[in-house]
Amino acid sequence: MRLNWILVLLLLATQGVLAAAPLTVLVGQQKPPYINTANISGYEVELLAEVVSRMGYEPVFLFVPNARIKPLLLQGEGDIASLQPVSNEEAGLFYSNPYIRYQNIAVSLAKDKLVISHSSDLGRYSVLAFQNASLVLGPDYTDMVKISANYRETVDQQAQLTMLLSQRVQVVVMDRNIYNYYRLQHDDAEAMAMHPLFNTTVYRAAFRDANVQRAFDRALLSVILDSWYQRLQRKYFGEENQSLPHSLLCTDS
């Protein structure tokens, strides 16, 4: 009888180990509120961790430069590559439904009542944008940068909001959720105006194993339909703005 109990305990332990097998997720480097490498947290990290956990795996994160994410997956250094554009597919890889949405915006002080409806309008004001904004925000934005007399870019996105609040620049251009994250740290800050000049961009995850990709999509749908998903957005962004399409939600009418 004792031997039987030992065998049962060993079987249960083995099943527990198998259920918690590690799955390595390749993600970018420090980028609050999406990624905080110091304590392995942030919106994107916690979202992916929840999805992987619902797949029945133990998430293990590997923080690397964005440009290295897909090459490392192809080299077999990870199981999931995060932040893959919808328009760029690699032969031999399998892609999930979109799991995250980004949107760049322009922000000004509400009291200034700036008229900003198009990228070209920014040329009239002093602008501090995120690094490489002139390379990724489209041709109209690039043309504006070429003729602007007071345009700068910075890697320090927290400084962008500080510069705006101190009225050292009239407009900042940054990701909406990065803005929200730092805005929440200034409870007494004056009102600001958001100018949504740019299209939103969604990103997928890439996999070498089609079965893992399909399991990811099922777990992702489970997360999207859970109130936990909205709570996570409010925790890091102060609002809910991650409405995403999912193929498993599509039904014929």
For the whole model, what pTM was predicted? 0.85
Closest residue by Cα to residue 128 from 166, 72, 77: 166
Q: To the nearest whole number, what is the mean pLDDT of the chain?
A: 90
Query: Which residues share a beta bridge with 172?
Result: 107, 128
CA-closest candidate to residue 210, choices 99, 80, 85:
80
Domain with CATH 3.40.190.10 in the chain: 17-101+201-239, 103-195
Q: What is the pLDDT of residue 250?
A: 58
The CATH number that domain 103-195 falls under is 3.40.190.10
Q: Write out residues in the chain with pLDDT < 70, as ranges.
A: 1-19, 250-253
In CATH terms, the fold of domain 17-101+201-239 is D-Maltodextrin-Binding Protein; domain 2 (3.40.190)
Question: In 200-209, which positions are buried (b, 16+ CB within 10 angstroms) versus exposed (e)?
Answer: ebbbbbbbbe
Residue 79, pLDDT score: 98
SS3 of residue 131 by DSSP: coil
Amino acid 9: pLDDT: 40
- CA separation, residue 196 to residues 10, 106, 229 (Å): 57, 6, 24
